[in-house]
Structure formats: structure tokens, C-alpha cells
Amino acid sequence: MGSKFAILSVAGLLTLGAQELPLDLQNSVKIDLPSNSPVTLLSANLGGSHATPRGSAMVVDLQQMVLSLRNAGDKHIRGVTLLVTAQEVTPGGRGSVTLASLDVPPGGAFPVHIDLRLLRPAQLTAGPLVQVSLDGVLFGDLSFYGPNRLDSRRAMTAWELEAQRDRRYFKTILSQRGPEGLRSSALESLVRQAERPRLDVQVVRGRSVSAAGVAPEHVAKFAFLEFPDSPVKPVEGWAQLAGSEARSPRIQVENRSGRSVRYVEIGWLVKDSQGREFMAASVPAGDPDLYLPPGRSGRVLQDAALKFSRGGQPVNIAGMTAFVSQVEFADGQVWIPNRESLAGARLLGVLAPSPEEQRLTDLYRKKGLDALIRELQKFE
């Protein structure tokens, strides 16, 4: 026991006396852009990146890494997604960094910040710690370039449609109610964002949360919110609930439009025992081969387990509601709910604002009404 205690003590001393080791770009990061990519790399800077030994592990901080990219194409860029992998550390796990609501003209340059931390075994092996590659670029005309491994085409298209929708909303306010009306709307949005009830969600894949003391599991049914213009209608659905944990949502949907559908995403709300409603998660269609011709039904299902808490305390789930939040047609066009539907279903206060609403209201908060008006006037 003495020997083991001594080893632990030495490890502890090593940890306390840990030294930061600087990282260099060539050995740490591999940046991979296709030769015909519409964005090119102007420069890369690792900032203050370093590695710190901690016992038998190593903490690698790629902090303030900045990639400077240039629009080498002939169209305005609206979004870029970079795929970030550290295969040796998290086999199968990966990350991405997306810049949405961009407006980069041909020839324009823009920075992408990537901050990453890895906790890995101390034994170093050959090869870069992190690989950064291009997953996709979305242009102003909604055309797309890239391998699309993360389905970034659909995600960025939906964000761009939300951006157009919300700019249109603020511009209508400006034209109908003037600058003071716009100020009032921006403030309303900021208040809504600040007061939006939030839930801490932990996602577990591979195995549900173990544990002693977990409440008995039961099957709970979803209630549904329906939007009049939604091309897909939710029919029925269930999930397994156990106290503050939910897993395996299954929702039957029906294509009521005249066009074939290849993707459906469901918004999942949960209600706590006091009746407060929270946005829990989105449920993407798990089947990559989903195809719903007009009038046909299909199922949206996932197997991950979600654990809900608030302020460190578990939140027991008393009810669940779902709504169709996104639909992709077979021709690649995307449907999203309009603002009237969201307001009518009282979802604006529960859902996070769109990336564009977040950006515009942040601009108003930091630079004032004139900056917001100038920004809105940039877009037709």
C-alpha cells in the first residue's frame, strides 16, 4: 500500500508542477481544403496553444486558433462549416464549427476561430492532434459546395431561410412602425432571450445512464403542435421516461404535401412538474434513406438518452410536446415554420432565436439602433 501511495504522491507532485508545453502548427494541426475549394486558406495561427501534463494524461489546449479564409469563388458566401476531428482521442466523435449569417463577397476574407481542448493519454504518437477540413460552403443563391459529411447543406440552408425570414420581419417593422418600432422589437427579442427557460441536457449514446435510484421507466405519449403550412403532420409518438431521463423518441409523421420528402426534424419540448415548458432537443430523422412520397407515413426515431437538469438538480418530466421544425424535400428545398406560426403556438418564448435574430439583436445591444438599421438595409 505504501508503494501505491508513493506512486500517487509522485503523480500528484508531477501534476502540481506541470509545465505548459507550447504547440507548433505543423505538428499539431492538419488543415485540409480541397484544391477546387471556393474558400482558400490565407493564414493559420495557433495563438497561445499549449499542452499541459496532468498525471498520466495530457491536456491539449488549441486556444484562439485563427484560420483566415478567403472567398475564392464568384458568389457571396452565406455560411461555412469546417469539420474538426481528433480521431486518436475520440474515435467516431467529431466536431464542427459553422459560421452562419455571413455575407462575404467574392475576394473577401474572413477569420474562423477554433478553440479546442483535448484530454488524452500522455504518450505522444506521430501525426497531427487535430484535423480541420471543409464540410461545406453555402452561397447566397442557396447553392452548395462540399463533401457534406455532416449534412451541413441542410442545416446551413435552414439557417439562411431563418435569416431571410427574420430580416424580413425586422424590415417590415421598420417600414411600418419606424425606428422606434424596430427598437421596441429588438428589445422585446432581447427580453425574450434573457427570460427563455433553459434546461441543462446531457446526451448519452451507447448506454443509458446507469444508476442506482433511477425512477421506474414508463412509456409516455407526445402531444403535438401543428402548423397550418407544415408539409408534414405529426400523427403519434412516444418516448421512454424515467424521472429526469428520456430516451428513444419515436414519432409517426405523414407527408401531407404534394412533394416527396427526404428529411424531417421534430422539435421536442418537455414540461416539468410545475408546468414550465422547456426546449429539450431536436429529433432528426435517423434514417438516411427516409423517403416519403405525398400521402405516405414514416417514422422519426432516435436511440440516444437525454438527462435533464436545472441548476444542478434533476428535472422530472411531467409531459412532452412535439412539433415539426424542419422538412427537406427530395429536390433539396427546405421548409421551416414562419414567425406567425411560431408566435401563434407561443413557441417564440420557448425556442432559441434564429442565428440571424441573435446576431441582429446582439448588434443592436452593442452598437445601437443606427447600426441595426444599416445592417438591415444591406440586404435586399
**Residues 117 to 136 in contact with another protein, rule: CB under 8 A:** 117-121
Q: Which CB, 181 or 190, lies closer to another protein? A: 190
| Beta carbon of residue 136, minimum distance to another protein (angstroms, whole number) | 13
Of the candidates 229, 203, 239, 201, the one whose C-alpha atom is nearest the C-alpha of residue 322 is: 239
**Residues 218 to 277 in contact with another protein, rule: CB under 8 A:** 249, 268
Q: Does 84 bind another protein (CB under 8 A)?
A: yes
| Beta carbon of residue 56, minimum distance to another protein (angstroms, whole number) | 5
Of 109-117, 136-144, 215-223, 290-298, the segment contacting another protein by CB under 8 A is 109-117
Q: Which CB, 259 or 310, lies closer to another protein? A: 310
Judged by CB under 8 A, the residue of 51, 99, 292, 347 near another protein is 99
| Helix pair 152-195, 355-367: axis angle to 10 deg | 50
- Cell numbers 403550412 label which residue? 229
Amino acid at 148: N
Q: For residue 342, what is the DSSP state? A: H
Binding characters for another protein, 281-320, by CB under 8 A (x = yes)? xxxx-x---------------x-x-x----xx--------
| Beta carbon of residue 34, minimum distance to another protein (angstroms, whole number) | 21
Of 2-10, 269-277, 288-296, 333-341, the segment contacting another protein by CB under 8 A is 2-10
Where does residue 356 rank: exposed (0-12), middle (13-18), buried (19+ CB within 10 A)?
buried
**Residues 134 to 193 in contact with another protein, rule: CB under 8 A:** 150, 159, 193
Of the candidates 69, 48, 71, the one whose C-alpha atom is nearest the C-alpha of residue 60 is: 48
Q: Does 280 bind another protein (CB under 8 A)?
A: yes
Judged by CB under 8 A, the residue of 44, 95, 140, 171 near another protein is 95
| Beta carbon of residue 196, minimum distance to another protein (angstroms, whole number) | 9
Residues in contact with 194: Cβ distance below 8 Å, sequence separation at least 6, in sequence order: none
Using an 8 Å Cβ cutoff, are 281 and 320 in contact? no
Residues in contact with 374: Cβ distance below 8 Å, sequence separation at least 6, in sequence order: none
Residues in contact with 12: Cβ distance below 8 Å, sequence separation at least 6, in sequence order: 55
Judged by CB under 8 A, the residue of 153, 231, 356, 372 near another protein is 356
Q: Does 98 bind another protein (CB under 8 A)?
A: yes
Q: Which CB, 183 or 265, lies closer to another protein? A: 265
Q: Does 77 bind another protein (CB under 8 A)?
A: no
Using an 8 Å Cβ cutoff, are 137 and 77 in contact? yes
Question: Which whole-number Å values give the CA distances from 178 to 221, 340, 360, 370, in the listed order?
Answer: 46, 21, 17, 12
**Residues 360 to 379 in contact with another protein, rule: CB under 8 A:** 362-363
